Structure 1
Amino acid sequence: MAEAGPRREGAPGQEAAAAADAGLPVVVRAADEAALYRVARRRARKKVQRTERVDVRYSVSEKQAILAEARRLNLAAAHLVGALVVAHLNGDLVLPGQRTSHDDLIDELAALRTEIARIGTNVNQVARKLNSGGHPHPGDTALLAEAGRVLVLARDAVTSIDVTSDNAATSKAA
């Protein structure tokens, strides 16, 4: 089935539009989002294409939910289902009844780390622009000092998140 329009991965409002098309509410927890992207990210193209097939039956509502999520992630439905099954077999993804609070904590921390790293990147870009030369403006010195302080805070926060994530993963394995 051909798509109605061009695919625009990452376009603003794409997630909300896909959920609205499927009649689903747009409520996503960071842990759920992080877990799904960790598992369903695109795999590298292999020289030999997969040829083995498994047929599965879904109810109409289950199929609609799978198709909506695949559209939201800009993936083929077969790839989404296959990636989730293989991830479960590899121990990277547990079934809903098997998911623990450690899994949620680790995924929330991963999402938080990403957001804080983005803040650090943005502050770094501001500092680079202010340090690029030219004639400084009256508030540039104070702004650079504040940018440096925010970068230190972001670095400390990311380090703390890394340590906490490692502790959570270690205690889960034990």
Structure 2
Amino acid sequence: MRATDEAALHRVARRRARQDVQRRERVDVRYSADEKQAILAEARRLNLAGAHLVGAVVMAHLDGDLALPAGRTAADDLIDEYAALRTQLARIGTNANQIAHCLNAGGEAYPVDAAVLTEARRLVAVVKQTVVAVDAAADVAATNHRAA
């Protein structure tokens, strides 16, 4: 799965808001055993219920927020690439913070620890700046896409 596809699916699945009353209406859909397993596996990976994932994707398509693969535009791909990039950057920042926390936790210090800690701090600062830039670029892309 491409990063853009994964980011689009995650963005759409997380967008479906809760309602004050429980949803009671049903639409029955039939899947093959393999299709069902693929849906459930993706839902688990996104930490969602299978029905939530299917409902979110269908409603997003009906609302015009999720184009079917043939209807995707370059702007859709760009927005989703930004989302995937932001996730990867956040993971780098998390790793750098874990390194810094470990080194700041005390214990026996090694001569290289000061240099590693300094580099971890620098990396966190760079990641924060990059995340801000990616967020700004994604916002511009989304705004331009809606205006088009």
Report TM bin, short chain: 0.7 to 0.9
- Whichever of the two has the greater Rg, that structure is 1
Shift of 1:38: 2.1
Match of 1:130 in 2: 103
Q: What is the CA–CA distance in structure 1 between the aligned matches of 2:101 and 2:50, rounded to whole Å?
A: 43
CA change 1:42–1:171 in 2 (3 A) is closer
Q: TM-score, normalised on structure 1?
A: 0.69
SS class of match (1:72): helix
Q: Which runs of 5+ in 1 are unaligned?
A: 1-27
Pair 1:99 & 2:69 matched: no
Farther off after superposition, 31-40 or 46-55: 46-55
Determine what percentage of the aligned residue pairs are the same residue.
56
Q: What is the CA–CA distance in structure 2 between the aligned matches of 1:42 and 1:170, rounded to whole Å?
A: 17
Pair 1:113 & 2:82 matched: no
Shift of 1:103: 0.9
Q: What is the CA–CA distance in structure 1 between the aligned matches of 2:91 and 2:58, rounded to whole Å?
A: 31
Match of 1:33 in 2: 6
Q: What is the CA–CA distance in structure 1 between the aligned matches of 2:122 and 2:49, rounded to whole Å?
A: 44
Q: What is the CA–CA distance in structure 1 between the aligned matches of 2:14 and 2:109, rounded to whole Å?
A: 44
Q: TM-score, normalised on structure 2?
A: 0.79
Q: What is the CA–CA distance in structure 2 between the aligned matches of 1:36 and 1:117, rounded to whole Å?
A: 19
Higher relative contact order (CA 8 A, sep 6+): 2
Q: What is the CA–CA distance in structure 2 between the aligned matches of 1:173 and 1:92, rounded to whole Å?
A: 10
Decide whether the 8 Å contact of 1:116 with 1:154 is kept in 2: yes
Residues paired across the two proteins, number = 142
Pair 1:155 & 2:124 matched: no
Higher helix share: 2
Q: Which runs of 5+ in 2 are unaligned?
A: none
Decide whether the 8 Å contact of 1:70 with 1:76 is kept in 2: no
Task: Select 2:36's aligned residue among 57, 67, 87.
Answer: 67
